[in-house]
Chains A and B, each alone.
Chain A
Amino acid sequence: MAYIHFDAVTIDYPILNAGSMSLRKELVAISTGGKFLREPGAKVTVRALDSISFHIADGERVGITGHNGSGKTTLLRTMAGIFYPNVGTVTVDGRISTLFQLGAGMDPELTGYDNIIRMAILNGASFAEAERAIPDIESFTELGQFLSVPVRTYSAGMMTRLLFAVSTAIHPQILLIDEIIGAGDTSFQERARKRITAFMEQASIVVIASHSADLLSSFCRRRLRLEHGKLLEE
């Protein structure tokens, strides 16, 4: 049975100020929220998550809400095992798939088919599973012959269709979604919504972070509300 368990999890971001080392990005993180902590030695850290505990059981559909910079993305990435807690423990059971930033592992010089295999195995699929997913991706993307040419020739809309189809081709037990991307034409958006609904129905656990109250109320029975890195459950 899949589950996600957080026990008093705290995450502090260190802010490195060595020259230009992604300083701009760090400034963006500061200006959009998070609480400042000043450690002795003048190393600045931002407390992104503050002693968060919860348990998500098999079958749950959970929505995460909160303002910009309240820690939604950090929370999802901690669930995915990307961020490691400074304090507390995270226990997760089940194969995780994430819909965060699409396109990790893609190479523009390779064909659509080559990239399907790359992205699928990066998501934890075996070669056989990746091959089996191809007919479904072919019919969803409607890219036809374009799947045999390098993806650098694709338009933005075609790229979105491919990335979205591959990310939703291998069925995970735990699905983490950060702000479903609204791209492509309207007919694509409609089909994307149908596909993601089907995709979500097959996962044991789904966690979505979003600002859209409509989306969350249609999918999720449980809400986690974040404010300045603290958890307020509704």
Chain B
Amino acid sequence: MEIAVRELAETARNLRVPIHFAISDTKARYRRSALGPLWLTLGTAIGVAGLGFVWSELFKLEKSHVLPPLTIGLVTWQLIAGCLTEAPAVFYRQESLIKNQRIPTFSLSLQLVLRQVVNFAHNSIVILAIVAFYEPAGLLYLPLALLGAVLVALTLWGLAQAVGYLGARYRDIEPLVISFLPILFFLSPVLYTPQQIGARSSIILFNPAAYWISVIRDPLLGKIPPLSTYVWVALIAAAIWLIALQATQIGRRKLPYWI
């Protein structure tokens, strides 16, 4: 684990690099638009309004029951899906950087996750508005939801690192991940809640994304997730990080030749 640990230490020493790059990447992306990154917020608001309307009409449900879980679910899903979509290419898209500069790969995967966290932060404005309007009591548990978001982001960092190495070695990983994302979306409690399909259903029990959504969504709906959910989140994170460290240990030496 020597190389992997050294990479992590180097990343921690130069944390300003991924943080600054994540923010300035986002600035660059919206440079020439009038609203800038607020387009993220507006886009989410429009999406949620449309889906919420259709959903509540279709199933004859109260908007106050549909909108809060739907909004939080969709925004959390965007965080997860955003990381997964970009993860396979996170190293090979940075070929010129990796071949010309000594840079810890953990810094590059962290930069990717932080970029998605910046998006998530913009989208959270919609969550806060919807929750304040429909479920004001949920705001009391905001710190718990933030803790959940931090746990999920840390897990996604490890995941991006592991998938990044896999994607650098095997170029089939990127289309593979992108093909499976829609299935994962429908298997995850984004458009519905676990209660609606029975919380003990296996697609909830064996889906990591269900736990990640739960630790962010439940507190804001005024429900404290059970301890077992946090145990699962921690176990999944530990497993993913072990794989990420191992992938770095094996792959780091070979990475410049793969990309």
Q: Which residues of A contact B (CB under 8 A)?
A: 13-14, 16, 18-19, 21-22, 77, 80-84, 86, 96, 98, 100-101, 103-105, 107, 109-110, 114, 117-118, 121-124, 126-127, 150
Contact = CB atoms under 8 A, between A and B. Distances in A.
B31 A14 contact: no
21 contacts: A16-B257, A19-B171, A22-B259, A80-B102, A84-B252, A96-B102, A98-B100, A101-B99, A104-B96, A104-B101, A105-B21, A107-B24, A117-B20, A117-B24, A118-B20, A121-B17, A121-B20, A122-B97, A122-B101, A124-B14, A150-B31
Given A107-B25, A118-B21, A150-B31, A81 B257 contact: no
What is the interface of chain B mostly: helix, strand, loop, or mixed? helix
A80 B102 CA distance: 6
Contacts of A86: 253
Given A118-B20, A118-B24, A83 B256 contact: yes
Contacts, number: 74
A22 B99 CA distance: 14
A82 B100 contact: yes
B115 to A, nearest CB: 13
Nearest to A13: B257
A127 B28 contact: no
A18 B102 contact: no
Interface size of B as a range: 20 to 34
Contacts of A122: 17, 21, 97, 101, 103
Given A14-B254, A18-B171, A83-B256, A127 B101 contact: no
B200 interface: no
